[in-house]
Amino acid sequence: MKKVFVLTVLFVGLAIMNSYGQEGFAAKAGFNNVSMSFDSGDEFFGDVSDSELGFYLGGGYNFYLSEEFDIEPSLLLSFVNDLTSLYVPVMFKYKVADKFNIQAGPQINYLLEDVPDGEFGLDVAFGGGYQIDDNWFVEARYGLQISRGGDFGDVVDINTLTVGAGYRFN
């Protein structure tokens, strides 16, 4: 039920953003690699880590700030095996060339599984993007966890690499 609610909010929010007629709405999809590290609590075994491949889809809105800077908040739904997460990156983009940008900013992630306290996390994300033409673009981003709430708190580290493409509606 929680997943249906979040999906409904996601798509209604994206539709509202697009209905204002502002330039910059984009649909996005791609692959992600989620790596998780667990503190085993055992001095002999130390940390245990695992990495899984999955995919994501969602959308974002690119706000023009100046000739060199943009800001793009996004809502991305990630599916990795049985783990479904909602990511909300807010990327500050610096245009280093005509079609190439570097990105950095905070990223909130929320596990949509039936875990105690919902498991919010805060990442610092960085990456780059390339504008293929007026509409199509590709981007890659790495999210490095800096804090996680809930019962897993200091025990689990979740970092995410996303590589995907998007279409910007002008």
What digits encode the pLDDT tens for the residues 44-64?
555 656 789 999 999 999 999
More confident of the two residues 8 and 18? 8
- Identify the weakest region by mean pLDDT among 56-60, 143-147, 151-155, 166-170: 151-155
Percent of the chain at pLDDT exceeding 70 = 71
Residue with tokens 């953003």: 17
- Classified by CATH at the fold level, domain 2-169 comes out as Porin (2.40.160)
Backbone dihedral angles phi then psi of residue 154, each to the nearest 5 degrees: -85, 0
Q: What mean pLDDT do residues 74-92 have? A: 93
* Amino acid sitting at position 89: P
**Domain map of the chain by residue range?**
2-169
> pLDDT band for position 117 (50/70/90)?
low
- Give the pLDDT of residue 21: 34
Helices and strands in the chain, H and E counts: 1, 9
Indicate if the pLDDT at residue 87 is higher than 80. Answer: yes
For residue 106, how many other CB atoms are within 10 A of its CB? 15
- Give the pLDDT of residue 39: 64
More confident of the two residues 15 and 62? 62
Q: Which two tokens stand for residue 156?
A: 């689990």
At residue 96, the 3 state secondary structure works out as coil
For residue 113, how many other CB atoms are within 10 A of its CB? 12
- Give the pLDDT of residue 120: 80
Indicate if the pLDDT at residue 6 is higher than 80. Answer: no
Q: What mean pLDDT do residues 5-12 have? A: 54
Q: How far is CA 127 from CA 92, 102, 148, 153, in A?
A: 10, 6, 21, 26
Q: How far is CA 32 from CA 40, 46, 52, 150, in A?
A: 25, 26, 8, 23
Indicate if the pLDDT at residue 22 is higher than 90. Answer: no
Q: Are strands 63-64 and 69-80 parallel, antiparallel or unpaired?
A: antiparallel
